[in-house]
Amino acid sequence: MCSILGIFGLQPGDDVGALRRQALELSQKQRHRGPDWSGVHLDEGAILVHERLAIVDPAGGSQPLRSSDGELVLAVNGEIYNHRELKKELAQPYAFQTGSDCEVINALYREDEPGSFLNRLNGIFAFALWDRARQRVVVARDPIGVCPLYWGHDREGRLCVASEMKALSGICADVAQFPPGHWYDSASGKLQKYYVKPWRDYDATRGVQVSAQELREAFERAVHRQLMTDVPYGVLLSGGLDSSLVAACAARFARNRVEEDDVSEAWWPRLHSFAIGLEGSPDLAAAEVAAAALGTVHHGFKYSFDEGLDALPEVIRHIETYDVTTIRASTPMYLLARRIKAMGVKMVLSGEGSDEIFGGYLYFHKAPNAREFHEELVRKLDALHNYDCLRANKSMMAWGVEPRVPFLDVEFLDVAMRMDAQAKMVDKASPGKRGIEKAVLREAFEGYLPDSILWRQKEQFSDGVGYGWIDGLKAHAEKQVSDRELAAADKRFPINPPQTKEAYYYRSLFDQAFPGTACAETVPGGKSIACSSPAAIAWDASFAAAADPSGRAIAGVHNAAL
């Protein structure tokens, strides 16, 4: 992954030299995402700046990517995992200028409209494509929103896009998130949704069965696709179910090179795994068990509470949110990314998305029927770009480490989400292990992991790194925020006023980095979606009073599930 910045709609009287300097200065604010190289394109209508993190074709592949005639200019943050297949399917020859996986977007644009070819991409991406001949810009973001993207207009009305909000917050009064699964066409002025799936409607999934073998093989293919890399990589391994399954599948493919059809030995054949936690962390202990079973070269790092506390202002500046759960979990992930980068690793596979696909959060135990269970899954997938995807991407990319998320692979999603949600529901009346969340996924991977890992109870990442982390954050916030300040929170923060002292403290740090109404409005609610979910409250009224989104705070569900 990388970062992009674009300014479009330049006019003949514009000072292009000053605009170029401004674009470079703005792009520097997100250079942590792409420390390997910078590229700039400037013409009469547009400026594109790219900060590169070289993962595929590191010797070439610099961006912006230009067509041979110079008429198409593309800046992309992301990875296109099926780029080789797409190249073979082209209806007409295209003169590729690099070995970049992303250049296939230019070739597809030459043959078809974005509304059609975007659904052919299997990858994670946010891009701006400038068609110089037609003075047309196309902006698009991947289906789930794994890659961040923001847009707005400067005071002259020019369209501006960037990978992170910090690059636009000073020049765009209307800065906002670009929605996942959409594309914008300057020729029509329309923002259009391209990612529309039948499985969003429960009736399309009713009665559909997916075998354990089909589910397992679909996920293995997703992991295999995402091992596409020309640089050292690893896996995040918390010792929970999701990261352990990613690691187990990656370990099966690690010895061969994906980009050469597995016929040659991988450049880095030993799989490295990484975990972090406080002293006594449940995750660190479980990760050791999983790593030993899988034979990974494991690296378990410890951090102190003070180290995490010291990092909070920078964490919030990087992740660009004041959501409580996201900040709690982002901080250890941010510290882990720094350790990983220090070891020379530039890409990691991670387990985000599984809970949203299979109903892994503890409140799903209370779902009354399959329809409501499924509808809540869809709602959570729609919101994922504001929470776990944001955390994983921005925490890791703060140090130039690219996270990939196989559970959110679009082909795997089609398999897992077309399954009738009845198969995903917790069945407490059934004997054996069906009384735990995500049993259908666990059963599909019997034998891949020790039972102590495969059937481990769900814990949020911020809990798993050590229970003292959350307790310490609350105690620190109690000292920083007075009762009077919290009582007047709606006066200082009229948009999503914080409800707890911890939330108030985070909001204050966010406001220092991102003042202004527009920035605050990019964060939806500032409270964990698990607790604020209308469905969760409808299923169990006690969730309405759950101001704390920690998994431990949902004690009734947690205890009943043990």
Is residue 204 in a domain? no
pLDDT(244) > 90: yes
Is residue 366 in a domain? yes
Average pLDDT of the residues in 41-65: 92
pLDDT(562) > 60: no
308 and 226, same structural domain?
Answer: yes
Residue 547's pLDDT is 55
Residue 443's pLDDT is 96
Q: Which residues, listed in sequence order, are joined to residue 185 by a DSSP beta bridge? A: 138, 190
168 and 225, same structural domain?
Answer: no
Q: What angle do CA 205, 554, 310 make, to 5 degrees?
A: 110
pLDDT(543) > 60: yes
What is the residue-averaged pLDDT of the chain?
Answer: 92
Is residue 350 in a domain? yes
Residues recognised as catalytic: 2
With bands split at pLDDT 50, 70 and 90, how would you rate the model's confidence at 558?
very low
Q: Tens of pLDDT along 387-423?
A: 999 999 999 999 999 999 999 999 999 999 999 999 9
Average pLDDT of the residues in 353-362: 95
Query: Position of tokens 């798993």?
Result: 464
Q: Tens of pLDDT along 471-498?
A: 999 999 999 999 999 999 999 999 999 9
The one-character DSSP state at 456 is P
Is residue 86 in a domain? yes
224 and 142, same structural domain?
Answer: no
Residue 80's pLDDT is 97
Is residue 203 in a domain? no
Give me the domain span that covers residue 172.
3-196
With bands split at pLDDT 50, 70 and 90, how would you rate the model's confidence at 379?
very high
190 and 308, same structural domain?
Answer: no
| Long-range interactions of 482-491: CB distance < 8 A, separation 24+ | none
With bands split at pLDDT 50, 70 and 90, how would you rate the model's confidence at 538?
confident
Residue 362's pLDDT is 87
Are 158 and 129 within 8 A, CB to CB?
A: no
What is 363-409 written as a DSSP string? GGGG--SHHHHHHHHHHHHHHGGGTHHHHHHHHHHTTT-EEE-GGG-
Q: Tens of pLDDT along 439-469?
A: 999 999 999 999 999 998 776 555 668 779 9
How many whole angstroms separate alpha carbon 430 and alpha carbon 424?
13
Residue 512's pLDDT is 97
pLDDT(552) > 50: no
Q: At 81, which CATH number?
A: 3.60.20.10
Query: Position of tokens 């005639």?
Result: 69
With bands split at pLDDT 50, 70 and 90, how would you rate the model's confidence at 560?
very low
301 and 241, same structural domain?
Answer: yes
Q: Tens of pLDDT along 158-204?
A: 999 999 999 999 999 999 999 999 999 999 999 999 999 999 999 99
310 and 239, same structural domain?
Answer: yes
With bands split at pLDDT 50, 70 and 90, how would you rate the model's confidence at 559?
very low
149 and 220, same structural domain?
Answer: no
Q: Which two tokens stand for residue 31?
A: 């250079």
Is residue 346 in a domain? yes
pLDDT(32) > 60: yes
Q: Among residues 165, 196, 227, which one ends one of the domains?
A: 196
530 and 406, same structural domain?
Answer: yes
Residue 548's pLDDT is 59
Predicted TM-score (pTM) of this structure: 0.94
Backbone angles phi, psi at 451, to 5 degrees: -55, -30
Residue 329's pLDDT is 95
Q: Which two tokens stand for residue 219?
A: 């996920």
Q: At 301, which CATH number?
A: 3.40.50.620
Residue 427's pLDDT is 81
Residue 465's pLDDT is 83
pLDDT(3) > 60: yes
How many whole angstroms separate alpha carbon 338 and alpha carbon 143?
28
Domain count, the chain: 2
Residue 377 Cα distances to 181, 313, 360, 416, 418, angstroms: 17, 32, 10, 11, 12
370 and 333, same structural domain?
Answer: yes
Is residue 201 in a domain? no
Q: Among residues 196, 231, 250, which one ends one of the domains?
A: 196
3-state secondary structure 11-64: CCCCCHHHHHHHHHHHHHCCHHHCCCEEEEEECCCEEEEEEECCCCCCCCCCCC
226 and 172, same structural domain?
Answer: no
pLDDT(537) > 90: no
Q: Tens of pLDDT along 288-303?
A: 999 999 999 999 999 9
189 and 283, same structural domain?
Answer: no
Is residue 242 in a domain? yes
178 and 56, same structural domain?
Answer: yes
Are 229 and 268 within 8 A, CB to CB?
A: no
With bands split at pLDDT 50, 70 and 90, how would you rate the model's confidence at 311?
very high
Q: Among residues 136, 168, 196, which one ends one of the domains?
A: 196
